Structure 1
């Protein structure tokens, strides 16, 4: 059996960055110089050990991607409206000061 070069504490704290702080696996792996597959494996083991539901990457990520896209489109629409209002207000106040 091969001895891990990373301590349990290191693995757990790394997984906590992903689960609690919302960091992406890819970003954390890059920042720490880890293999992405290894980090996904650590997350899976941690979730199993702590009875945290494990989502099926193939099915639920598609759904959540679509939900995120809808949310971002709504947010983009609102931001464009706010920008247009601010442009009109700036033009109005610029005319008053002349």
Structure 2
């Protein structure tokens, strides 16, 4: 059925001929598209132009970005603490 839809057959025609509902056939096509990376699943904020692998990469990159921000904050606080303890301002500091 999926291949028939992709070949140009109407889901309403297939539904009449083979008996699953038009919506069921469209759901099968959508699931096949997601499985094959033709388009991403549809979370509320998903960009419909992204494929499933692109969506996975976006999620991974957002997670990595959050982690890097946490690590940067930790390093910034550690630098400030060491500067206070040693009385030395780190190079590149805006304090003068």
Structure showing greater radius of gyration is 2
TM norm structure 1:
0.40
TM norm structure 2:
0.40
